[in-house]
Amino acid sequence: MTTLIVILWLVCSVFVIFEKKIVRMILWLFLSSIIASIIYLLLGSPDLAMAEATASAFVTIIFVIGFEKFFNLRDMKKYLKDEKEIEKENKFKRYILPAIISIGILVLFINFAIPVEQNDYLKNLILDRFTIDIGGENAVTAIYLGYRVYDTIFEALLLVIAVVAVVHMSNFDITKVNDGKHSELETSGMALFLVRIVAPITIIFGVYLIANGFLSAGGGFQGGLAIACFFVCRFFIYDIYDLPIKKINRLEDFIFIIIVAMAALTIFAGLIQQVPYRFMTLAQEIYLFVMNALIGIKVALGFIILFYRYVAIERN
């Protein structure tokens, strides 16, 4: 079963690469990353399948909004003409040499890179010990919130920096952009009505994913992205400019500081070990839930800002 779907994924990625029009390329990329999410599910990781499914949706939204501001996505011919202006240098250096190099590295990689036997020592160690050390039932959440908290902190830091970069690079002033009910999207009344029904489901589902992130598949990131999906649905219904972007940005940075403080206090300073044994599991569960909730809210706020800044870029 997995081989058939992996071949399907190969076909979609080949089409992503050899497609001429940008619109079809974005569609194929969306399709190939949804199939990749199915492959993660069959490889035994529902957490990543959720993260990849949300990632594919957000990447497509960012591409479509970003590229659409400047090109009419349908007829890209007008915009790709300037590739011909430069005189063509020799074909060999441009196309055949990289082909040889990449095939060469591919052959070397396949034959020599992968060790044949893989030992499961670390896997068995973690799977036996993670409920005692960190608590909770989801090994993946226990790892990225307990054993490897450093990585989560730096990943959260990178998200903060990404949001700062997007906020500063997209020059945006309300006066020039035609405000009012984002007139290009004259969605039909029925669409607005049904999106109003679906939107609350997304935020409730996001909170559910965050709440039992450490019990079953889910966690801070997927829950945060689901909550951000509520605000993306809200974009259809209300005006773009009523969200206080600057305040949200400051709130997100503040939450990041709390995350670092929380991780420093409990894991590094070993606060959890001082708790008397009877309350140990309770303390662990509280820690996991609060960390998941903080990461979820931070990821949600980050992507809300990302999305609303992208939408509000004025088209020149």
Partner 1 sequence: MSNVELVSIIVFFLAFYALVTNRNIIRTIIFSSLMEVSVITFWLSIGFRERLNPPILYTMADYEHIYTADPVTQALMLTAVVIGIAVTAIKTIMFITLYRKYKTTDWDLARIRKTEG
Partner 2 sequence: MNYFLWILVVLILLVIFRVIKGPTIWDRVLAFNLISHKFIIFIVIFASIESTTFLLDLAIIYALFGFLGEIFLIMFLADRVRGGKEE
Partner 3 sequence: MIEIISNVIISIGIFFLIIGVFGIYKFKDFYRRLLVSSKVDTVGAITILIGVIIRHGFSFFSAKTLLILALILILNPLTAHILLRTAYVSGHLLENEDNKKGD
Site residues (vs partner 3, CB under 8 A): 21, 23, 74-75, 187-188, 190-191, 194-195, 197-198, 201
What residues contact 272, with CB distance under 8 A and at least 6 apart? 266, 280, 283, 284, 287
Q: How far apart are CA 68 and CA 61, in angstroms?
A: 10
By rule CB under 8 A, what string of x and - marks binding of each residue 170-189 to partner 1? Answer: x-------------------
37, 39, 40, 46: CA torsion to nearest 10: 80
Q: Which does 194 bind (CB under 5 to 8 A by kind): partner 1, partner 3, partner 2, none?
A: partner 3
Subset of 137-166 contacting partner 1 (CB under 8 A):
137-140, 142-144, 148, 151-152, 155, 158-159, 162, 165-166
Subset of 209-228 contacting partner 2 (CB under 8 A):
209, 216-218, 222, 226
Q: Which does 262 bind (CB under 5 to 8 A by kind): partner 1, partner 2, partner 3, none?
A: none
Q: How far apart are CA 219 and CA 212, in angstroms?
A: 7
The residue among 69, 115, 43 whose CA lies nearest residue 310 is 69
Q: How far apart are CA 151 and CA 146, in angstroms?
A: 10
Q: How many residues bind partner 2 (CB under 8 A)?
A: 57
- Pick between residue 36 and residue 301 the one whose CB is nearest to partner 2: 36
136: left (phi over 0), alpha (psi -120 to 50) or beta: left
Is 25 exposed, middle or buried (CB count within 10 Å of its CB: 0-12, 13-18, 19+)? middle
- Pick between residue 229 and residue 267 the one whose CB is nearest to partner 2: 229
**Any contact of residue 231 with partner 2 (CB under 8 A)?**
no
Q: How far apart are CA 280 and CA 93, in angstroms?
A: 64
Q: C-beta of 223: minimal distance to partner 3 in Å?
A: 17
Q: Give the pair of three-digit tokens for residue 181.
A: 């009910």
Could you tell me which stretch among 29-37, 117-125, 126-134, 285-293 binds partner 2 (CB under 8 A)?
A: 29-37
Q: How far apart are CA 153 and CA 256, in angstroms?
A: 8
**Any contact of residue 32 with partner 1 (CB under 8 A)?**
yes
By rule CB under 8 A, what string of x and - marks binding of each residue 67-96 to partner 2? Answer: -x-xxxxx---x------------------
Helix (H, G, I), strand (E, B) or coil at 203: helix
Q: Which does 245 bind (CB under 5 to 8 A by kind): partner 3, partner 1, partner 2, none?
A: none
The residue among 206, 173, 236, 198 whose CA lies nearest residue 301 is 206
- Pick between residue 23 and residue 160 the one whose CB is nearest to partner 3: 23
Q: What is the DSSP letter of 73?
A: T
Which of 232, 248, 255, 291 contacts partner 2 by CB under 8 A?
232
**Any contact of residue 217 with partner 1 (CB under 8 A)?**
yes
Q: End-to-end distance of the chain based on CA atoms, in angstroms?
A: 49
- Pick between residue 256 and residue 310 the one whose CB is nearest to partner 2: 310
Subset of 58-87 contacting partner 1 (CB under 8 A):
58-59, 62-63, 66-67, 69-70, 79-80, 82-83, 85-86
Question: Cα 83 to the chain's mean position, in Å?
Answer: 32
Q: What is the DSSP letter of 45?
A: -
Total Cβ atoms within 10 A of residue 293 = 18
Q: Note the residues at the interface with partner 2 (CB under 8 A).
A: 1, 4-5, 8, 11-12, 15, 23-24, 26-28, 30-31, 34, 37-38, 41, 46, 49-50, 53-54, 56-57, 60-61, 64-65, 68, 70-74, 78, 183-187, 198, 201-202, 205, 208-209, 216-218, 222, 226, 229, 232-233, 236, 315
